[in-house]
Amino acid sequence: MSAISTNTNSFRRQTRTLSITSGKGGVGKTTVVANLATMLSRMGSNVLILDGDLGMANVDIMFGTRCKYSLKELLNGTRRIDEVITQIEPRTWLIPGGTGFQELQNLSEREKRILLDQMSSLKQHFDYMLIDTAPGIDNNVMYFNTSAQEIYVVVTPDPSSFADAYALIKVLHTYHHEKKFSIIANQVRDEQEGMAVFQRLSDVSQKFLFVSLDYLGCIPADVGVRRATKSQQIFVKSAPESLAAHAIKRISEKISTSQNPGQMKGGIQFFWEQLMGVA
């Protein structure tokens, strides 16, 4: 598919940069990213996905494709951004993360400059950039989260997911001074369980951390999700009438109608400058 399409509608506002993150693996974070991107694009937005899991990059598989190049080729100067970025759906593009990165902040000045120069050409082309981070609290995850305007934490009812989500929020608040997080409760039985997961996490966070958590919504673990996950498909496409697909639609509508709480961080260019430590 083609690289970048400059639809005039994409110039109506600054690109919103959203990190979708989690304290542990196995909570369905990449599935959430892929389905959110698909739904937002169906609603008329141009969406860019950055696969920020630099060890296990796999967003392209969710869309039934394999990208030839990644950030690695961009950084070593062998490929341009228009060769690395891949259109995976109408109005949806992907920057594959690649593998082999130890620490983003250990990139050489030449690598940082290459990246910033290339990414500057993306400015204003997209309504959203969704960053699919790796799970956990390593430095690369911290860099992606603190560089984005908005941080969305995916959590499930599993006690270990709850504990690790709290640990992630604690590290981002204590060491990086982040104060605002949006919560997506995934793999829940129903809305009641989703709200209970959020309320418990919110109560603990407010008591010990004094941070603000917003409830973005919940996604039930229905049969349509399980089938789509096993076959590596987008469930809003393969099971559009499922409870999970309707949940993704509600969350996408909430995102699209909300005010951007991270205006102070700037847009997509600021994200890359912040990530490279030059902002």
Is pLDDT of 53 > 60? yes
Chain-centre distance of CA 13, in angstroms?
Answer: 19
151 or 273, greater pLDDT: 151
Domain ranges of the chain: 8-275
Reported CATH class of domain 8-275: alpha beta
63 band by pLDDT with thresholds 50, 70 and 90: very high
Q: Which of 43-57, 134-148, 149-163 has the highest mean pLDDT?
A: 149-163
Q: Which structure tokens are listed for 168? A: 């992630």
**Following CA atoms 155, 159, 162, 166 in sequence, which dihedral angle do they give, to the nearest 10 degrees?**
-160
* Three-state helix/strand/coil letters over 71-104: HHHHHCCCCCHHHHCEEEECCEEEECCCCCCCCH
Instruction: Tell me whether residue 196 is exposed, middle or buried, using C-beta atoms within 10 angstroms of its C-beta: 0 to 12, 13 to 18, 19 or more.
Output: middle
266-278 pLDDT, tens per residue? 678 788 888 887 6
Using CA atoms, how far residue 225 sits from 28, 64, 98, 193, 195, in Å, is 10, 16, 27, 17, 20
Output the pTM of the full model: 0.90
CB atoms within 10 A of CB 44: 12
229 band by pLDDT with thresholds 50, 70 and 90: confident
DSSP bridge partners of 217: 184
pLDDT at 11: 39
162-187 pLDDT, tens per residue? 999 999 999 999 999 999 999 999 99
**Among the listed ranges 45-59, 71-85, 186-200, 254-268, which one has the minimum average pLDDT value?**
254-268
Alpha carbon distance 110, 94 (integer Å): 24
pLDDT at 158: 97
Is pLDDT of 12 > 50? no
Q: Cβ(154)–Cβ(32) under 8 Å?
A: yes
Query: Cα-flanking dihedrals φ and ψ of residue 274, to 5°?
Result: -65, -45
CB atoms within 10 A of CB 84: 23
pLDDT at 231: 84
